[in-house]
Structure 1
Amino acid sequence: MDKFSFDDIDKARKLLGLPDEASLREIKEAYRNKAKKYHPDRYSQEKREVYERKMARVNRAYKVLLRFIEEYKISFKKEDVNKNNPDRDVIRFYKDWLSR
């Protein structure tokens, strides 16, 4: 089990350009975008070393976030599932609006 400090996780999410909260899908998308931008194969030989270092930092940040997520316990309790439903607010709005 890896232990990461808040600073480790915060630096990793900032390096990937993520907000304070992100889904696994958003983390993967941010990583892919950074990988496309910094992959050393996209650059000339003169710039390759610089982008190899940048890509290494991006890879480390991604690994930190994935390891943190792997250790994070997810609740499957009904109230927690309902609370984290992305459609919750839309459903609540329509139920309220239709009940008028």
Structure 2
Amino acid sequence: MANSDQIDEARRLLGLGEAATLKQVKAAYKMLANRYHPDRCKEIDRAKCEEMMKRMNEAYELIMKYFTDYSYSFGEEDVRRTYSHDEYLRKYHYGWFDGI
């Protein structure tokens, strides 16, 4: 299992903030992969691009493993905190006459 410093370094390499969704991680990786893929680099920069691609792949794999191994809470309070706006809209839409 990676430690917090390794995960922090990986997210920085991929240009991610301290919080990111899986979708954001994949988009960041794809954008950088398009930029640094050795087939897209000029011959003079190929070695640099290969090294960067290797580091990016390692960072991506580390973060994906972190996502895979993370324990998600399905407790009501945690779900409410995560989806507070949706919860608000649901209560407003379905419960706005409750106080009358």
Q: What range is the shorter-chain TM-score in?
A: 0.7 to 0.9
Partners of 2:79 and 2:26 lie apart in 1 by 22
Q: TM-score, normalised by structure 2?
A: 0.81
Q: TM-score, normalised by structure 1?
A: 0.81
> Structure 1: 5+ residue runs without aligned partners?
none
Find runs of 4+ consecutive structure 1 residues off by over 6 angstroms: none
The residue number in structure 1 matching 2:10 is 12
The sequence identity of aligned pairs, in percent, is 36
Instruction: State the AA in 2 paired with 1:54.
Output: M
Instruction: State the AA in 2 paired with 1:17.
Output: G
| 1:83 matched to 2:85 | no
Count of aligned pairs between the two proteins: 93
> Structure 2: 5+ residue runs without aligned partners?
none
Write out aligned runs for 1:13-52 (5 A).
Answer: 13-52=11-50
Partners of 1:6 and 1:51 lie apart in 2 by 26
Q: 1:28 deviation in Å?
A: 0.5
